[in-house]
Amino acid sequence: MNVPTNQQLIRKARQRLGGGTKSPALRGCPQRRGVCTRVYV
């Protein structure tokens, strides 16, 4: 197990992992993702 030294962490801090979307291909089409934005009665 390799642990970075303090000097390495100062030089280049660790980047957080982004959350991201579960379906990046369907980002432009909310109706295909199953997200209901408005309900008409």
Q: What is the pLDDT of residues 22-31, one digit of tens each?
A: 666 666 666 6
Are 33 and 26 a contacting pair, CB within 8 Å? yes
Amino acid at 27: R
Q: Note the pLDDT of residue 22.
A: 67
Note the pTM of the prediction, 2 decimals: 0.32
What counts of helices (H) and strands (E) characterise the chain?
2, 0
For residue 19 the two structure tokens come to: 């959350």
Runs of H (alpha helix) within the chain: 6-11, 30-33
For residue 21 the two structure tokens come to: 């979307």
- The full set of domain ranges for the chain reads 1-41
Within its chain, how far is the Cα of 32 from the centroid? 20
Q: Which residue numbers in the chain have pLDDT < 70?
A: 18-37
Q: Note the pLDDT of residue 32.
A: 65
